[in-house]
């Protein structure tokens, strides 16, 4: 069994994190990203769902909409200037 | 934007060991993944709530959550706060006890349409009437999801449920109207698509003293959505996108949810009146000098 | 602020004495709904609680009353509610919630004639089995039965103490006659002992909400907002409090809810024995029927009948060991109760056919004519071999 990993993409002003195995394939982030940053992965995850992957990292403005709407805590963004302490705890 | 027509290589991510989600501190990570279906709006409601807590900088010492029975009721089990998963319909009176015992803390009731407005209806109207200082977040998915999709007090006319096989013919509640008429001092409705505004509404509702209410319209793709041919969760969210109309200050009486019509969302009521304990302090304790 | 303990000698009815007992015990919240013959408790406590910094809430029904009583307890207060038969039935579901979540609080039932609306203003004692078995599922019960306003005061305090010690809702099963009778109540602060809530010994993160101690009782109770981040649920749960829906977790939790009372029964059980040393017939009784039985006992002794009385101050847990011991040497038991035979079933069960059992039932609405109790005593002695 594969160890759980987090995939991280570099965006213009930060990062986008996706924890693929948490995803339940609802499609909300892909559909409603205002910048069309995401698309469905080619591979399915451990649960059998197709998680999102970044298709256009440059378009991402770290608006955090995907992060907010994701029902499974599987995707989040980080702005460079933000304090690292945001990921504590 | 025509950027998708360019043939572009898919950007390659870094692979890191599993990272902590930014809202992890508000969650009981050992209880995740949660039980809710793919496409259900409850995960979004939970997510928005954690961001609301983060924005308010409220910790475990400041806020507690009380829930009832049903899919929404399970939300209490995922929050890393004092959380109380009580009996069907009785979250609000349990929360009344908590709120009266700890007036300096925030009490949030997070429950579903059936739990709060069928079996729990009586308690809702009285807590609103008394203006007990609590926030009630109602996830409305128009049926009893946990038990298989029976119809409930918010099921629209004509919709099907397992106990309404020929279609529901009962008039449903208009929740913001009900809340407003009972005296809730803050009444708002958002869908689970309006994640940012929902989070803001949660912030406002929690901070505001008195009985505050937010209806969260949510898909239930496994039961209500499937039986009523609404597609999956994503399809329902697309419907919300198409049909939602934001009308702050709208008259809640005119905000019925009728399939095919506009979904009126927004902050409808935002008013002030003495809370239960404020009235008690003023009229009983101070007037009779019981605090001397 | 007024005094919590109403020191001195007073002329109170049982209901008022219950209210004063709660206040003396430190009750911080009363959430209740009026119902005859309990209303005087609610009325007096609505008057007194604000004087001592507590809160009275008249809830919209008994269901919410029980729910708020539980919520207030998790908010750190000593809490109480009170009702009569119809309300007691409504409270059952949340009583079960209190049992499985091990929430300390007090529930008073001033019993009246039933079933259903029954005799709203007249006495009954027909909720005694319901007190033991009323909510669905298995759990242990502590139920106290006062026979006077003085005892109404004292046993209400005891109920709060037992609730804190054994972590459950404790029942005070009074009745309309005790509730409405006026008698002298002597309140001496020196004689009042209170058990306060035990805080968790371990800090947040280390403390396990439902890990029992030697006496099978959870070892400390957090308060809402103290940092312990408890999860309290009515679902079957493990020692952390997290719901786990399987037989293994059920086996680890539910028998303990019963055993924590059964195992500690000796410390909980309280009876009063009168004239038992040479008794050939024992009257087993509780509540107002014990007062009537006292009269019957005197009448019997005057006739030269060797009767005695075992008064149940705790009806649950039932003192079966005492009954079993007495059954070895007495001719029989006479059990007067204002119902059609409830606690008599326990006496029968404990006596194991070693002695005669005579129920002295009464459908309700008035207390027994003591003669009927004397008649039963005579019948036992006639049939004695």
Q: Which two tokens stand for residue B257?
A: 């949810």
Walk along chain C (385 residues) and give the pLDDT tens digit of each residue.
889 999 999 999 999 999 999 999 999 999 999 999 999 999 999 999 999 999 999 999 999 999 999 999 999 999 999 999 999 999 999 999 999 999 999 999 999 999 999 999 999 999 999 999 999 999 999 999 999 999 999 999 999 999 999 999 999 999 999 999 999 999 999 999 999 999 999 999 999 999 999 999 999 999 999 999 999 999 999 999 999 999 999 999 999 999 999 999 999 999 999 999 999 999 999 999 999 999 999 999 999 999 999 999 999 999 999 999 999 999 999 999 999 999 999 999 999 999 999 999 999 999 999 999 999 999 999 999 7
Q: Dump pLDDT digits (tens) for C56-83.
A: 999 999 999 999 999 999 999 999 999 9
List Cβ neighbours of C250 (8 Å cut-off, separation of 6 or more): C236
C229–B80 C-beta distance less than 8 A? yes
- Single pTM value for the model: 0.91
By residue range, what is the domain housing residue C369?
A: 272-382
Residue A86 has pLDDT above 90, yes or no: no
Which of A22, A35, A69 is the best mutation test for B, with the most CBs of B within 10 A?
A69
Among C138, C169, C191, residue at a domain's last position: C191
Question: Is position A33 within any domain?
Answer: yes
Give the domain CATH number at A37: 3.30.70.20
The arithmetic mean of pLDDT across residues B205-225, rounded, is 98
Q: Is the omega angle on the peptide bond into residue B33 within 30 degrees of 0, that is, cis?
A: yes
Domain that holds residue A14: 7-79
Q: Do C33 and C180 fall into the same domain?
A: yes
Q: Which one-letter DSSP state was computed for residue B203?
A: H
Q: What pLDDT does C52 receive?
A: 96
Q: Is B90's CB within 8 Å of C2's CB?
A: no
Q: In what helix (H) or strand (E) does residue C30 lie, and over which residues does it extend?
A: strand C27-32
CATH of the domain at C134: 3.40.50.970
For chain A, first and last CA: distance in Å? 27
The verdict on a CB contact (< 8 Å) between A89 and B24 is yes
Q: Please, which residues bridge with residue C173 across strands?
A: C109
* Whether B18 contacts A7, CB under 8 Å: no
Nearest neighbour of B23 by CB, restricted to A57, A71, A73: A73
Residues 6+ positions from B286 with CB-CB distance below 8 Å: none
Residue A64 lies in a domain: yes
Neighboring chain B residues of C235 at a CB cutoff of 8 Å: 85
Tell me if there are at least 3 CB pairs under 8 Å linking chains B and A: yes
Q: Whose CA is closest to B61, among B111, B15, B3, B105? A: B105
Beta strands in B141-259 (DSSP E): 186-191, 211-217, 244-246
Whether the CB-CB separation of C168 and C222 falls below 8 Å is answered with no
Contacts of C245 in chain B (CB under 8 A): none
Q: Name the CATH architecture for the domain at B34-286.
A: 3-Layer(aba) Sandwich (3.40)
Contact residues, chain B, for C223 at CB < 8 Å: 102
Q: Output A4 or C249, whichever has higher pLDDT.
A: C249
| Residue among B93, B280, B291 whose CB faces C68 most closely | B93
CATH code for position C370: 3.40.50.920
ipTM reported for the complex, 2 dp: 0.93
Residue B9 pLDDT level (bands cut at 50, 70, 90): confident
Six-digit token string for C131? 């007190």
pLDDT digits 0-9 by tens, A40-65: 999 999 999 999 999 999 999 999 99
Last residue of one domain, picked from the residues C170, C191, C212: C191
Instruction: List the 240-259 stretch of C: residues with Cβ below 8 A of B.
Output: 242-243
C171 with C280, same domain: the answer is no
Distance separating alpha carbons of residues A55 and C360, to the nearest angstrom: 85
Q: Two tokens at C286? A: 């509780």
C223 assigned to some structural domain? no
Residues of B in contact with A86 (CB under 8 A): 22
C216 belongs to a structural domain: no
- Indicate yes or no: CB of A68 within 8 angstroms of CB of B195: yes
Task: Tally the domains of chain C.
Answer: 2
What pLDDT was estimated at residue B6? 58
For residue range B42-52, list pLDDT tens digits in order.
Answer: 999 999 999 99
């Amino acid at each position: 069994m594969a160890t759980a990993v987090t995939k991280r993409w570099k965006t213009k002003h930060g990062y986008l994190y996706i924890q693929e195995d948490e995803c339940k394939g609802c499609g909300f982030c892909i559909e409603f990203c205002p910048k069309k940053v995401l698309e469905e992965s080619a591979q399915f995850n451990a649960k059998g769902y197709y998680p999102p992957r970044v298709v256009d990292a440059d378009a991402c403005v770290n608006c955090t909409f995907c992060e907010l709407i994701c029902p499974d805590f599987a995707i989040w963004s980080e702005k460079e200037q933000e304090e690292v302490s945001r990921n504590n705890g | 934007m025509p950027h998708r027509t360019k043939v572009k290589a898919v950007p390659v991510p870094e692979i890191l060991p599993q990272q902590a989600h930014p809202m992890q501190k508000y969650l009981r990570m050992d209880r995740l993944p949660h039980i809710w279906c793919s496409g259900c709006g409850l995960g979004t409601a939970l997510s928005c709530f954690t961001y609301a807590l983060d924005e308010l900088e409220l910790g475990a010492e400041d806020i507690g959550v009380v829930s009832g029975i049903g899919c929404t009721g399970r939300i209490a089990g995922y929050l890393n706060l004092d959380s109380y998963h009580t009996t069907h319909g009785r979250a609000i009176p349990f929360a009344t006890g908590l709120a009266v015992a700890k007036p300096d803390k925030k009490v949030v009731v997070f429950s579903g349409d059936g739990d709060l407005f069928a079996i729990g209806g009586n308690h809702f109207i009285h807590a609103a009437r008394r203006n007990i200082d609590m926030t009630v977040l109602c996830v409305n998915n128009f049926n009893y999801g946990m038990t298989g999709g029976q119809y409930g007090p918010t099921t629209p006319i004509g919709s099907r449920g397992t106990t309404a096989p020929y279609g529901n013919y009962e008039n449903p509640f208009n929740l913001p109207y009900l809340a407003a008429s009972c005296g809730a001092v803050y009444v708002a409705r958002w869908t689970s698509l309006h994640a940012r505004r929902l989070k803001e509404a949660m912030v406002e509702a929690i901070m505001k003293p008195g009985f505050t209410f937010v209806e969260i319209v949510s898909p239930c793709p496994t039961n209500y959505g499937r039986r009523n041919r609404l597609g999956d969760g994503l399809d329902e969210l697309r419907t919300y996108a198409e049909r939602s109309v934001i009308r702050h200050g709208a008259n809640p009486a005119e905000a019925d949810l009728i399939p095919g019509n506009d979904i009126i969302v927004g902050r409808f009521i935002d008013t002030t009146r003495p809370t239960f304990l404020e009235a008690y302090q003023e009229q009983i304790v101070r007037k009779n000098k019981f605090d001397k | 602020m007024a005094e919590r303990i109403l020191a001195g000698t007073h002329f109170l009815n049982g209901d008022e004495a219950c209210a004063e007992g709660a206040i003396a015990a430190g009750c911080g919240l009363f959430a209740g709904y009026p119902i005859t013959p309990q209303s005087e408790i609610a009325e007096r406590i609505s008057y007194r609680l604000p004087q001592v910094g507590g809160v009275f809430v008249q809830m919209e029904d008994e269901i919410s009353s029980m729910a708020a009583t539980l919520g207030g307890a998790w908010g750190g207060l000593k809490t109480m509610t009170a009702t009569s038969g119809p309300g007691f039935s409504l409270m059952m579901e949340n009583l079960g919630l209190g049992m499985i979540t091990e929430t300390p609080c007090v529930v008073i039932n001033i019993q009246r004639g039933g079933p259903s609306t029954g005799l709203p203003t007249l006495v009954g004692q027909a909720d005694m089995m319901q007190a033991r078995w009323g909510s669905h599922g298995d759990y242990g019960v502590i139920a106290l039965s006062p026979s006077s306003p003085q005892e109404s005061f004292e046993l209400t305090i005891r109920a709060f103490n037992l609730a804190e010690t054994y972590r459950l809702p404790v029942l005070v099963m009074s009745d309309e006659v005790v509730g409405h009778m006026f008698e002298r109540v002597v309140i001496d602060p020196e004689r009042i002992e209170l058990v306060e809530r035990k805080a968790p010994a371990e800090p947040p993160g280390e403390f396990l909400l439902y890990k029992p101690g030697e006496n099978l009782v959870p070892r400390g109770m957090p308060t809402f907002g103290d940092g312990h981040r408890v999860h309290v649920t009515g679902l079957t749960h493990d020692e952390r409090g997290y719901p786990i829906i399987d037989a293994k977790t059920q086996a680890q939790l539910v028998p303990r809810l019963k055993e924590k009372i059964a195992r500690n029964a000796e410390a909980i059980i309280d009876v009063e024995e009168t004239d038992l040393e040479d008794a050939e017939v024992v009257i087993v009784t509780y509540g107002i029927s014990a007062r009537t039985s006292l009269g019957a006992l005197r009448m019997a002794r005057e006739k030269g009948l060797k009767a005695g009385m075992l008064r149940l101050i705790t009806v649950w847990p039932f003192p079966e060991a005492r009954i079993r011991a007495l059954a070895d040497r007495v001719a029989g038991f006479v059990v007067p109760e204002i119902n059609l035979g409830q606690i008599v079933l326990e006496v029968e069960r404990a006596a194991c056919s070693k002695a005669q059992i005579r129920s002295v039932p009464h459908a309700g609405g008035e207390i027994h004519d003591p003669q009927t109790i004397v008649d039963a005593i005579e019948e036992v002695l006639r049939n004695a071999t």
